[in-house]
Structure 1
């Protein structure tokens, strides 16, 4: 008997389903430190199965109904996912709060777990684990491959790294230059 080849529509549906599961997930960045989207952070099973004791809510939404769990604390970070938003002013307070929660486990989330929350975790990794920004980004990216802090947050992280270590491990590249180079290479 011969099996029918899957239709392209069913393959696309399967890929979409897998991507949705990945987005709607929790990523362990380091022991005791997790990164997720908003929907995952609201699920009691996510919090209890990982013994989360501190939630850092970087979604910009303060009126969230988190599960009522004993000992669960929530820190609200009122920042929108906009390049001009002042996320840097929260790097030290959030990093210090995560560091104070060493006996517990911390979940940092924003809306999708792609921009604000990864940026805050990278700041923590630089400040308390001594990683360069490049190393911090690689560590978070390895656990959550679709992170993409906006350009403004990258600038703030670069500035923070320079403040911490008096040097930078990454630099901003203008997108138009990058695109022009890619076009030239493709034409060759």
Structure 2
């Protein structure tokens, strides 16, 4: 379970954190924003649950909820707010960025940096980025970021391979989810193929 603290009273997580009653109590959570279709809203005394029933697809209209969620987070003066989705990577960070723009007066660039500092593996889908860009334009009349298309994979000769034969490896942009075990697994596959 990973709970990320964005401000002194604002937290981001996946669907597991709100199920931990001790954690909710320890952090003084009085509002849970549940940005999922299927995950349960736990019932705790003195804790309100605000449901944002949106799926994590680029076509989903998360922006329909930006103002309502931002205003509710801002109005939660009695305690902390936990915003979560299934993994805490796309829907909930987008909602938090909308809040930061609306009530903390920051640009989308600043809001993204702020959220990413507390939760480095944030990865919004392209549709939510576009909706945040439109929201920033509506709030400030301009955009401070541009969403670039992801470059196609680059193919290069495998440097560690012998020069006999044509061995190519495809390099893809580094994912924030790439972990050490996947890199080890990749090297084991190369060894099995006779590439050392």
Matching residue of 1:173? 148
Rg larger in structure = 2
* Unpaired segments ≥5 residues, structure 2: 157-170, 172-196
Matching residue of 1:61? 38
Matching residue of 2:166? none
Contact 1:33 1:107 in 2 (8 A): yes
Matching residue of 1:103? 78
Q: Deviations over 1:43-102 (max 9, x none)?
A: 11110110100000002226x151x43210000001000000000000000000001102
Quick one: structure 1 residues 103 and 183, their matched pair in 2 at CA, closer, same or farther if it must change by over 3 Å? farther
- Separation (CA, whole Å) in 2 of partners of 1:59 and 1:166: 30
Matching residue of 1:9? none
- Separation (CA, whole Å) in 1 of partners of 2:142 and 2:12: 27
* Equivalent position to 1:35, from 4, 8, 12: 12
* Unpaired segments ≥5 residues, structure 1: 1-23
Task: Give how far 1:104 is off.
Answer: 1.4
Deviation above 2 Å: which 4+ runs of structure 1?
none
Q: 1:153 aligns to what SS in structure 2? A: helix
The count of corresponding residues between Structure 1 and Structure 2 is 157
- TM-score, length-normalised on structure 1? 0.79
Contact 2:14 2:88 in 1 (8 A): yes
| More helix per residue | 1
Task: Give how far 1:31 is off.
Answer: 1.5
Task: Give how far 1:183 is off.
Answer: 6.6
Q: How do 1:91-170 residues align onto structure 2 when only pairs under 5 Å count?
A: 91-170=66-145
Contact 2:30 2:78 in 1 (8 A): no
- TM-score, length-normalised on structure 2? 0.76
- Separation (CA, whole Å) in 1 of partners of 2:127 and 2:72: 23
CA RMSD across the alignment: 1.7
Quick one: structure 1 residues 65 and 135, their matched pair in 2 at CA, closer, same or farther if it must change by over 3 Å? closer
- Separation (CA, whole Å) in 1 of partners of 2:41 and 2:77: 25
Q: 1:30 aligns to what SS in structure 2? A: coil
- Separation (CA, whole Å) in 1 of partners of 2:32 and 2:97: 16
